[in-house]
Amino acid sequence: MMISQTEYRQRREQLMSQIGKGTAIFRSAPVAVMHNDVEYNFRQDSDFFYLTGFNEAEAVAVLAPHHSEHRFVLFVQPKDPEKEVWTGYRTGVDGAKERYGADEAYPITELDEKLPQYLEKADRIYYQLGRDREFNQTILTHWQTLMRTYPKRGTGPMAIESTNPLLQKMRLVKSPTELEMMRQAVAISVDAHNYARKFAQAGCYEYQIQAEIEHIFRQRGALGPAYPSIVASGVNSCILHYVENTRQMETGDLLLIDAGCAYEYYNADITRTFPIGGKFSEEQRIIYELVLKAQQDAIAQVQPGKPYNLFHDTAVRVLVEGLMDLGLLVGDIEEIIKEEKYKPFYMHRTGHWLGLDVHDSGVYKNGEESWQTFEPGQVVTVEPGLYIGLDIKPVEGQPEIPERWRGIGVRIEDDVLVTESGNEVLTAGVPKLVDEMEG
């Protein structure tokens, strides 16, 4: 199951139709050093991959719709049998044309020589400054050179414009093939979560649960974790991005697992919280049911045409009402929400876009007041939580937290697809009702 070259070409054509006489430039991700001369596994830049499917470092893609012959150009590492013995096969210049549909391809060493011919008749350069400082300077140097020689030609790019607004809108709505990739990532992640819940017991270390989850990821053909797996027991469940995963679990602990896999670069993102030993304490159950209600009500707001902020606002109101019923917040509910007095308990938003990136490309707001509205084909996480740490400090005017609530952290997260008629919870295969979590 892979994205076809036809779909990659369609994406490039869609982008080129929007940039007119501009030239768009995309740089591959750099290699990252783990230590000394050992590198991390390579992960391609998502925008670059979205447009090309090309999965090698040291590459540049150029889209020049105004060029008479070469609308799509790749600069790549040339074939080098001696180096390939050490670091793996390269596609090479010929392969870039044959396998990836480039109209022309060059060795990456020829970038400075060849790039100007794709810029000199463009009216602007589309490039996202900020990701690669060294390559930023390369683009700025070419642009400045063309500006100096503009009077002699009467053509050339007068501005540099970000590619983000164009690509974010494109990437936000998933194609049928992309959704199939995400469904596969979800299916693998669902199985891993369900196995982890059966495997987890008092005496186990958090890292053992992590190992079982990530074993399933790789065994089922995923690239590996989509992000560092969070396996947080006891008070660790109150740390949002806890990744040490070293604690030994005890009966009565809550175990919060936030883990998902990447399948062909498309990601899943699931969180479940359940009791070690099979039963929630009274306080754990109350907090869990409150978070679950907030999530269920929030998911109901993920509908085509509804504003993005509505599901977060819905979750916040449910959580605040519940905390007020418990006496953990006091006062006027509207004031508490407006002034965010709930933040010591709930400090993050209720979700994010999901796709090629875990926190995927796409805007949330259109200007100061207008929120993005949901459209069919978008995928969002819905993940409310409550975190009552041992050292929680209420905001001024709010009551101190009784000891019996401290140390409880709960988050429940699902991946939700916006459909024509409503939504589909892609991750519904992982149980989350109280009776199921105690089973």
* Catalytic annotation, pick one of 47, 206, 264, 413: 413
Cβ neighbours around 361 below 10 Å, total: 18
Of 35, 37, 134, 368, which is the active-site residue?
37
Q: Do the Cβ atoms of 102 and 72 come closer than 8 Å?
A: yes
The reply to whether 325 belongs to the active site is no
> Which is the catalytic residue, given 56, 258, 264, 357?
258
Which is catalytic among the residues 269, 357, 360, 414?
269
The answer to whether residue 37 is catalytic is yes
Cβ atoms < 10 Å from Cβ of 236: 23
**Which listed residue (126, 411, 414, 415) is catalytic?**
411
> Which DSSP string corresponds to 76-100?
EPPP-HHHHHHH----HHHHHHHHH
Of these residues, 227, 352, 406, 424, which one is catalytic?
Answer: 352
Segment holding 160, helix H or strand E: strand 160-161
Dihedral sign, CA of 32, 38, 40, 44? positive
Sort 130 into a burial class: Cβ within 10 Å, 0-12 / 13-18 / 19+. exposed
| Active-site hit among 27, 126, 387, 414 | 387
Residue 234: left (phi > 0), alpha (psi -120 to 50), or beta?
left
387 counts as catalytic:
yes
Please give the single-letter amino acid code of residue 312: H
**Known catalytic membership, residue 359:** yes
Point out the catalytic residue in the list 264, 383, 414, 415. 383
Contacts of 368 (CB under 8 A, 6+ apart): none
**Unique residue bearing structure tokens 């609308």:** 71
Catalytic-role residue among 148, 153, 359, 404: 359
411 is catalytic: yes
The verdict on whether 352 is a catalytic residue reads yes
Instruction: Decide: helix, strand or coil at residue 279.
Output: coil
Task: State the catalytic residue, choosing from 134, 241, 335, 400.
Answer: 241
φ, ψ dihedrals at 92, nearest 5°: 80, 175
Per the residue annotation, which of 348, 349, 406, 424 is the catalytic one? 348
* Cα distance from N-terminal residue to C-terminal residue, the chain: 35
Active site residues: 37, 241, 258, 269, 348, 352, 359, 383, 387, 411, 413
